[in-house]
């Protein structure tokens, strides 16, 4: 009986959510689009992409399309590289669908600096694929566009390029379904929203899953949470995910890094990589040059966070690269598993 009540409650809840979402999105009862977010809502801002091609925001970029939009500036050394690296992971997951039925747009909030040539170089550094445009234009027009999209914060974005709203927006203009998202969201979730939820949200899934078959959810440690939400945008750990998604990291793989690098150096590198690069630390410079001249951003991590991340990296290294004892040697060992692997 309780199971039956539960099923009815879930069905009613789903129906209510559909009604609420339908009202918000302005979808007509016959299934046709009646969205208010059309050409009269969005400014048809004149922009120029990295290939010096003029485009209009509504007519050329979003009309009838599923899109992801964020705002960056190429001289940013903090959050913008992480945003771009995360979206690069999403692009890799989606493959050739990007540019065909999903479109990526990164618009500069510093158009005086970010010329088309600068944006093209920036895209090349991150090895961005087709279907992702980097755009610039007039600053006043871009500010107004950000206001229309709800991505402009008074008091934060007013003339200070060091601070800006870090949200990105994803949506389907044809249906009027729009949502804000974190640029540090799990790339698989963003890819699912763009490739599935925003594409066929009116069609019920034919897959019938049961809660009885749901896997147990493991609570991640603080170090794992920080790695996955911040470090994972640029780094793999044992090439995690690369075999299935082709997702190589912008930076080096970190499996074994706690064995191969000095602990004090690692701690300082996580705390103030920008300072170490400015001081021309030899190892910091060699990593910068080896990975496309993309600077390690300063994540402003507290000592407790740094210790948690290093602890997680060590734990995963011990799990995936256990040290096997040498026969007849009670106090020493050799590395097994990925022997010879060198983490940077």
| CATH class of the structural domain 46-199 | alpha beta
Q: Is 333 within 8 Å of 323 (Cβ atoms)?
A: yes
Q: Is 126 within 8 Å of 294 (Cβ atoms)?
A: yes
Name the CA dihedral angle for 11, 17, 23, 29, rounded to a multiple of 10 degrees.
Answer: -20
> How many whole angstroms separate alpha carbon 116 and alpha carbon 142?
15
pTM: 0.68
Strand, coil or helix: 249: coil
Q: Where are the domains of the chain?
A: 1-32, 46-199, 222-335
Confidence of residue 205 (pLDDT cuts 50, 70, 90): low
pLDDT tens string 73-121: 998 877 888 889 989 999 999 999 999 999 999 999 999 999 999 999 9
Sequence-distant (≥ 6) Cβ neighbours of residue 47 within 8 angstroms: 54, 55, 56, 57, 61, 107, 135, 136, 137, 142
Name the CA dihedral angle for 75, 77, 82, 84, rounded to a multiple of 10 degrees.
Answer: 10
Q: Is 175 within 8 Å of 27 (Cβ atoms)?
A: yes
Name which of 60, 38, 39 is nearest 133 in CA terms.
60
Q: What percent of the chain has pLDDT over 90?
A: 45
Q: Is 93 within 8 Å of 188 (Cβ atoms)?
A: yes
Buried b (16+ CB within 10 A) or exposed e, 248-280: ebbbbbbbbbbeebeeeebbbbbbbbeebbeee
Strand, coil or helix: 107: strand
pLDDT tens string 293-326: 888 888 889 999 999 999 999 999 999 999 877 6
- 341 by Cβ neighbours in 10 Å (0-12 / 13-18 / 19+) ranks as middle
In sequence order, which ranges of the chain are alpha helices (DSSP H)?
A: 2-25, 79-94, 116-125, 139-148, 187-192, 198-200, 222-229, 242-245, 257-260, 263-271, 273-278, 282-290, 303-320
pLDDT tens string 224-257: 988 988 888 888 888 654 444 445 578 889 999 9
The pLDDT mean for the chain works out to: 79
pLDDT at residue 138, rounded to an integer: 95
- The encoded tokens of residue 3 equal 């199971």
> How many whole angstroms separate alpha carbon 187 and alpha carbon 279?
34
Sequence-distant (≥ 6) Cβ neighbours of residue 134 within 8 angstroms: 49, 50, 106, 107, 108, 119, 120, 122, 123, 128
Is the domain spanning 222-335 CATH 1.10.357.10? The answer is no
For residue 205, the 8-state DSSP code is -
- The encoded tokens of residue 255 equal 């499996």
Q: Establish whether domains 46-199 and 222-335 are of one fold.
A: no
Q: Is 287 within 8 Å of 344 (Cβ atoms)?
A: yes
Given a cut of 80, whether residue 214 has pLDDT beyond it is no
> How many whole angstroms separate alpha carbon 177 and alpha carbon 87?
20
Backbone phi, psi, residue 180, to 5°: -85, 150
């Amino acid at each position: 009986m309780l199971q039956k009540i539960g099923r009815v409650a879930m069905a009613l809840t789903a129906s209510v959510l559909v009604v609420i979402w339908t009202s918000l999105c302005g979808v007509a009862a016959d299934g046709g689009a009646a969205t208010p977010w059309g050409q009269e809502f969005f400014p048809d801002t004149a922009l120029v992409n990295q290939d010096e091609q003029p485009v209009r925001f509504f007519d050329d970029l979003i009309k009838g399309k599923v899109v992801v939009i964020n705002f960056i500036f190429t001289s940013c050394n903090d959050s913008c590289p992480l945003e771009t690296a995360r979206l690069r992971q999403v692009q890799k997951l989606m493959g050739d669908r990007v540019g065909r039925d999903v479109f990526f747009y990164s618009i500069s909030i510093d158009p005086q600096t970010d010329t088309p040539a600068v944006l093209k170089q920036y895209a090349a550094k991150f090895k961005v694929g087709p279907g992702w445009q980097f755009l610039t234009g007039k600053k006043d027009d871009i500010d107004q566009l950000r206001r229309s999209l709800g991505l402009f914060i008074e008091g934060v974005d007013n003339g200070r390029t060091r601070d800006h709203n870090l949200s990105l927006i994803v949506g389907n203009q044809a249906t009027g379904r729009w949502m804000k998202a974190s640029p540090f969201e799990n790339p698989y979730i963003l890819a699912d929203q763009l490739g599935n939820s925003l594409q066929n949200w009116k069609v019920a899934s034919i897959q019938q899953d049961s809660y009885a078959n749901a896997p147990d959810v493991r609570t991640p440690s603080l170090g794992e949470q920080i790695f996955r939400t911040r470090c994972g945008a640029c780094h793999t750990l044992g090439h995690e995910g690369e075999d299935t998604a082709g997702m190589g990291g912008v930076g080096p793989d970190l499996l074994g890094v706690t064995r191969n690098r000095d602990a004090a150096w690692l701690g300082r590198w996580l705390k103030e990589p920008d300072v170490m690069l400015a001081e021309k630390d030899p190892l910091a410079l060699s990593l910068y040059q080896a990975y496309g001249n993309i600077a390690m951003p300063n994540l402003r991590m507290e000592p407790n966070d740094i210790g948690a991340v290093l602890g997680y990296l060590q734990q995963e290294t011990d799990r995936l690269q256990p040290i096997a004892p040498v026969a007849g040697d009670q106090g020493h060992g050799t590395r097994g598993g990925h022997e010879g692997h060198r983490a940077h």
